[in-house]
Copies of this chain bind each other. A is one copy, B any other.
Amino acid sequence: MEKVPEQCRVEDALNIITGKWKPIILLHLLQEGTQRFSELKQKMPGVTQKMLTKQLRELEEEDIIQRTIYPQVPPKVEYAMTDYGRSLEPILEAMHEWGRNHTLRKRQKQQSPTS
């Protein structure tokens, strides 16, 4: 998604949190704190090694999360939100809240499809 001139600063946030697994990663890190790779993977059924890695790297790239490698064998890598990353929380909150009402609404529509 390229940038369109003025106004649309909205895109920046959007570019960062869109990606099939990013919101989920962020929620896990926000709600449960630092996690290692394998923990995240386990909590995200369906994700591939590659995809998880990729999304994590992209978030790291943007300074949203921080990657810490422990020089051990077998390897241990932890991911944590940065302070900057935490600044996304209001957005995620707002979306979460909205989403709840949205699903309610969908249910209502199903119950009275004739209206």
Chain A residues within CB distance 8 Å of chain B: 1-2, 4-5, 7-14, 17-18, 20, 23-24, 27, 44-46, 84, 87-88, 90-92, 94-96, 98-103, 105
- The contact of A7 among B20, B27, B102, by CB within 8 Å, is B27
User: Which label, helix, strand, loop or mixed, suits the secondary structure of the A interface?
Assistant: helix
Please tell me if the beta carbons of A84 and B105 are within 8 angstroms of each other in the complex. Answer: yes
CB-CB < 8 A to A90: which residues of B?
94, 98
Name the B residues within 8 Å of A10 (CB-CB).
23, 27, 92, 95-96, 99
Q: How far is the CB of A16 from chain B (nearest CB, A)?
A: 8
The smallest C-beta distance from A25 to any residue of chain B, in angstroms, reads 10
Do A12 and B98 touch across chains, with their CB atoms under 8 A apart? yes
A2 to B105, CA, bound (A): 19
Q: Please, which residues of chain B bring their CB within 8 A of the CB of A87?
A: 98, 101
Question: Within the complex, which residue of B9, B18, B102 is in contact with A9, where a contact is CB–CB below 8 Å?
Answer: B102
Evaluate contact between B105 and A14: CB separation under 8 angstroms. Answer: no
Nearest residue (CB) in B for A88 is B98
> A7 CA to B24 CA in the complex, in Å?
8
Q: Nearest residue in B to A28 (C-beta to C-beta)?
A: B7
